[in-house]
């Protein structure tokens, strides 16, 4: 294809939210960018999420205040620039018998979350007694809950948002190609200066970015087969269940391991999830295994017995793999969701982060690269102000290798 024959400033490998964000930011700043995606755009982890643009109330327990602050800031920016993909959603944390946490701790956590959001808060948090809870969500009272904390976060259409960002990148000049797998990294003067694709094409660029999510280590090993892993993969599954009639997203916790998970109104159904378990297979083959489904069913029924959630009624399941920063922490759900940027032989690899923080991750990556282009006058990052347009298509379904969003 002619459009990939020149030498680009940047070549981005991976068409998930992180790759899309980098292509958008870099193109707006004046760099020529190409992005290649092995499968469908957004076909990896970025379409398998819990669909939340959130500060992450649970990270308060891990004392990761920096991540909560950063995520709340990004939530506010994204609600402003992409309201067609993101909407505010009220959450309830109903408390019964000290679960998901003792009531004073829940109140303190929600108060702190609200306080961190400050002027960026979506709506004021409230603490509900039985009467108010009955008004907000009567079935929770029927399930034995007498009080709940109410706070606000936001819900997104993840795949559509990736497409919206890709289209913005394209408008800013990026060349995008799906169904184009990178199969080789090409070295020049001991630096990676190009890639080979499965079709035998060579694409050259001054800098190459590895934004392949849970596949980043596979990519790095094309250049160095003994490269130590930078990613700890963690699988998360969701159940799509017929509408449970909830007006709020409900945060509950598992009795088995104390992890929190959600029941969320989602496109006329209820989304139940997620799990967080170590994974070592091919990220593209991750599935909801029977044990994962049992875990969510059992714990959802323990938290909300009156809803009679049954396996036979599950409409669908989906599974995704988180590309977490490799850390020795015991449980994958305790691993920080912060991002890191690594540089090896000219290849820049992005690891970790959250969907919510994709814009900031992209800004950090492009800031870091700016020094590689002393001959270029780059404008400052503009993605916090540029509004996204409505995405014009959903995931491409044809695989002729000629798609562009």
The residues of the shown chain that bind ligand FAD, judged by CB under 6 A, are 13-19, 36-39, 43-46, 48-52, 181-182, 211-215, 219, 236, 274, 320-323, 353-356
CA distances from 120 to 110, 360, 363 (A): 15, 17, 20
Q: How far is the CB of 43 from ligand FAD (least distance, A)?
A: 5
Between residues 100 and 353, which has the closer beta carbon with respect to ligand FAD?
A: 353
Q: How far is the CB of 46 from ligand FAD (least distance, A)?
A: 3
DSSP 8-class letter at 38: S
Q: How far is the CB of 71 from ligand FAD (least distance, A)?
A: 7
Strand boundaries in 326-358, DSSP class E: 339-344, 347-352
Between residues 141 and 162, which has the closer beta carbon with respect to ligand FAD?
A: 162
Q: How far is the CB of 108 from ligand FAD (least distance, A)?
A: 24
**Rounded to whole angstroms, how far apart are CA atoms 254 and 271?**
16
Between residues 213 and 265, which has the closer beta carbon with respect to ligand FAD?
A: 213
Between residues 307 and 333, which has the closer beta carbon with respect to ligand FAD?
A: 333
DSSP 8-class letter at 319: E
- The closest of 332, 399, 7, 390 to 195, measured between CA atoms, is 7
3-state secondary structure 71-120: HHHHHHHHHHHCCCCEEEEEEEEEEECCECCCHHHHHHHHHHHHHHHHHH
Contact 208, 26 (CB under 8 A): no
DSSP 8-class letter at 358: H
Between residues 93 and 212, which has the closer beta carbon with respect to ligand FAD?
A: 212
Between residues 164 and 320, which has the closer beta carbon with respect to ligand FAD?
A: 320
Q: Which tokens is 241 given?
A: 């269940």
Burial class (CB in 10 A: 0-12, 13-18, 19+), 190: exposed
Between residues 135 and 393, which has the closer beta carbon with respect to ligand FAD?
A: 393
Q: How far, rounded to the nearest angstrom, does the alpha carbon of residue 257 sit from its chain's CA centroid? A: 23
**Rounded to whole angstroms, how far apart are CA atoms 213 and 339?**
11
**Rounded to whole angstroms, how far apart are CA atoms 50 and 59?**
16
**Rounded to whole angstroms, how far apart are CA atoms 334 and 329?**
7
Q: How far is the CB of 212 from ligand FAD (least distance, A)?
A: 4
Between residues 143 and 183, which has the closer beta carbon with respect to ligand FAD?
A: 183
Q: How far is the CB of 220 from ligand FAD (least distance, A)?
A: 11
Q: How far is the CB of 135 from ligand FAD (least distance, A)?
A: 28
């Amino acid at each position: 294809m002619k459009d990939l024959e020149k030498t680009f400033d940047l070549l981005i490998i991976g068409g998930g939210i992180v790759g899309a964000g980098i292509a958008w930011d870099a193109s707006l700043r004046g760099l020529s960018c190409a992005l290649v995606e092995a499968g469908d755009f957004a076909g990896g982890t970025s379409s398998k999420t819990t669909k939340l643009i959130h500060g992450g109330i649970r990270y308060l327990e891990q004392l990761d205040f920096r991540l909560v602050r950063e995520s709340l800031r990004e939530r506010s920016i994204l609600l402003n620039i992409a309201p067609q993909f993101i909407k505010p959603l009220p959450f309830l944390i109903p408390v019964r018998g000290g679960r998901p946490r003792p009531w004073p701790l829940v109140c303190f956590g929600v108060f702190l979350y609200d306080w961190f959001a400050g002027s960026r808060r979506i709506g004021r948090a409230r603490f509900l007694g039985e009467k108010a809870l009955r008004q907000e969500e009567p079935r929770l009272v029927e399930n034995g809950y007498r009080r709940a904390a109410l706070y606000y976060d936001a819900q997104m259409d993840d795949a559509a948002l990736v497409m919206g960002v890709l289209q913005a990148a394209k408008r800013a000049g990026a060349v995008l190609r799906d169904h184009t797998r990178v199969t080789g990294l090409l070295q020049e003067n001991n630096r990676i200066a190009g890639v080979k694709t499965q079709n035998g094409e060579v694409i050259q660029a001054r800098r190459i970015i590895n934004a392949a999510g849970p596949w980043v280590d596979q990519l790095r090993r094309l250049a160095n087969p003994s490269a130590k892993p930078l990613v700890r993969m963690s699988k998360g599954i969701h159940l799509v269940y017929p509408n449970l009639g909830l007006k709020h997203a409900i945060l509950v916790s598992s009795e088995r391991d104390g992890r929190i998970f959600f029941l969320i109104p989602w496109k006329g159904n209820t989304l139940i999830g997620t799990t967080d378990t170590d994974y070592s297979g091919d990220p593209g083959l991750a599935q909801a295994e029977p044990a994962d489904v049992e875990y969510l069913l059992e714990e959802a029924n323990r938290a909300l017995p009156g809803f009679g959630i049954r396996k036979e009624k599950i409409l669908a399941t989906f599974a995704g793999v988180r590309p977490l920063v490799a850390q020795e922490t015991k449980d994958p759900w305790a691993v920080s969701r912060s991002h890191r940027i690594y540089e090896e032989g000219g290849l820049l690899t992005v690891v970790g982060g959250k969907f919510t923080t994709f814009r900031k991750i992209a800004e950090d990556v492009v800031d870091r690269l700016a020094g590689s282009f002393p001959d270029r006058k780059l404008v400052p990052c503009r993605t916090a102000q540029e509004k996204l347009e409505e995405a014009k298509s959903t995931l491409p379904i044809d695989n002729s290798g000629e798609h562009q969003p």
